Structure 1
Amino acid sequence: MNQLAVNNQSLILAFILVLVAVTISYKEKLGLSRDIFYSILRAVVQLFIVGYLLKYLFQVNNFWLTTCMSFFIVLNAAWNAHKRNPSPHKHYLDSLLAIFISTYLTMSVLIAAGAIKFIPSQIIPISGMIASNAMIAIGLCYRNLYTKFHDQRQQVLEKLALGAPVKLASLPILQESIKTAMQPTIDSAKTVGLVSLPGMMSGLIFAGVDPVHAIKYQIMVTFMLLSTTSLGAIIAGYKAYKNYFNHYLQLR
């Protein structure tokens, strides 16, 4: 079986590609150079820390440590989704509830079906995969809600003036926001295998797993991500739209 080897020289050559992005940002005055360097530095530090931590957790194989690490991933994903919400009246618990339910409901079904086992080498990576996709979908939902409530403020006010309840007045905005949040995952599912070769399937094949089994795992992941993003976007959307109204049911 062939093994992939990444040495320091390979990393340096790969870093040159990052400098290409920085150069483009500088010449086009995009203002992203600092963010690119910061994200790279943060990614390297985080990956080293998490890598050594996972090595320890995989060896210990403790139920409570695995649970705490999974919950930490959910807390962090919820915080990042919360920060992506441009609304001044946002609540962290909305993001936490959406990611918590969507992540652990999906994982519970997978564990009950025997698709995965409650061991750190499976639970922790799957938690990260699910929570990160939920985080992205919820962030898109939040941004679209904010934009639509700003652009369609007059329409919402007119509906409220005609006696429509808050939910009915907000329903087109809410539906469009949830659709926007789910669209990247849906598009990814449409093109999987044709445009993109999924990392999980490719990794399993590199590891020597039968391609048929790798494909089945990837199908499971596709189902899992569609479930998570839809649940997360719906829960977050239905919680967040209420924050645009005050206690008197008036648009803020």
Structure 2
Amino acid sequence: MNVSVDNLSLALVFGLVLVAISISQKEKLGLTKDIFMAVVRTVLQLIFVGYILKFIFQASNMFLSLTMVLIILYNASVQANKRNPNSKKSLLHPFLALLASTGLTLTILILSGAIQFIPSQVIPISGMLASNAMTAIGLSYRAMYKSFTDNRQQVLEKLSLGATVKLASQDILREAIKTGMQPTIDSAKTVGLVSLPGMMSGLIFAGVDPVHAIRYQIMVMFMLLSATSLASVIASYVAYQTYFTDKAQLEFE
């Protein structure tokens, strides 16, 4: 089955975006500019990345592939870091969390033979892992900031009674990690019943036996659960320390 998208198809589907813009204008949501910028960035970024990937796939050079993976992780780190309201945030923290979670999951997939160490498989899988881990980290950061803000007095009381920084922050840590993991867990609970994920649908469109496509999708859900859980845990355990001074005093803006 051949699936093609011509310019007319794109133009007609763009009409749906105009509907979203019209709704924003009518309801005075203030999202018109954001939607327009999102459309422009989507088109430009995908065209640019498409040509880059075409070059890398044809060159089949693993150095270029690993460079592309690092670029993906860096951009994901920048976006995750932007979602952290804490003024003492550091770009290095989400980058390390993404590197560890994505790197470990990729390594296991390659060693187990689930994917091959080739650009056409390593780069797309890295993008999927980094995207979901980025979202998890961002949610964890926001939940942590809100919890520290709402429970500031409780944390101070625990510290005054002699609790360590980790003990005083334990409930906040748990809530931040749970918040980061929850979307992926919810997605895993409803996959197949509510949504038919992109990878499985793409394989079926390409003519792959649905049974084989489902097997790949199961692998994808497992690796996403792994990556998001690791990313949430690592990012949260590193980030909570930035809310305290070297003298174990709670301090953040």
With the length of structure 1 as denominator, give the TM-score of the two structures: 0.98
Per-residue Cα deviation, 1:188-233 (whole angstroms, up to 9, x for no partner): 0000000000110111111111111111110000000000000000
Q: Counterpart of 2:144?
A: 145
Give the Cα separation in 1 of the matches to 2:33 and 2:233.
Answer: 34
Q: Counterpart of 2:196?
A: 197
Give the Cα separation in 2 of the matches to 1:32 and 1:153.
Answer: 34
Q: Counterpart of 1:82?
A: 81
Q: Which amino acid aligns with 1:87?
A: N
Q: Counterpart of 2:13?
A: 14
SS at 1:6's partner residue?
coil
Q: Counterpart of 1:187?
A: 186
Q: How does 1:20-31 map to 2 (within 5 A)?
A: 20-31=19-30
Give the Cα separation in 1 of the matches to 2:117 and 2:78.
Answer: 25
Shift of 1:125: 0.3
Give the Cα separation in 1 of the matches to 2:89 and 2:2.
Answer: 47
Contiguous gaps of at least 5 residues in structure 1: none
Matched, 1:174 2:149: no
Give the Cα separation in 2 of the matches to 1:25 and 1:182.
Answer: 31
Q: Counterpart of 1:93?
A: 92
Q: Counterpart of 1:40?
A: 39
% same residue: 64
Matched, 1:240 2:246: no
Give the Cα separation in 2 of the matches to 1:223 and 1:123.
Answer: 16
SS at 1:127's partner residue?
helix
SS at 2:117's partner residue?
coil
Give the Cα separation in 2 of the matches to 1:135 and 1:121.
Answer: 22
Q: Counterpart of 1:3?
A: 2
Q: Which amino acid aligns with 1:7?
A: D
Q: Counterpart of 2:160?
A: 161
Q: Which amino acid aligns with 1:188?
A: S
Q: Counterpart of 1:213?
A: 212
Q: Which amino acid aligns with 2:75?
A: N
Q: Which amino acid aligns with 2:127?
A: G
Matched, 1:70 2:40: no
Matched, 1:102 2:101: yes
Give the Cα separation in 1 of the matches to 2:209 and 2:249.
Answer: 59
Q: Which amino acid aligns with 1:55?
A: K
Cα RMSD of the aligned pairs, angstroms, is 0.8
Give the Cα separation in 2 of the matches to 1:192 and 1:105.
Answer: 24
Matched, 1:227 2:226: yes
Q: Counterpart of 1:131?
A: 130
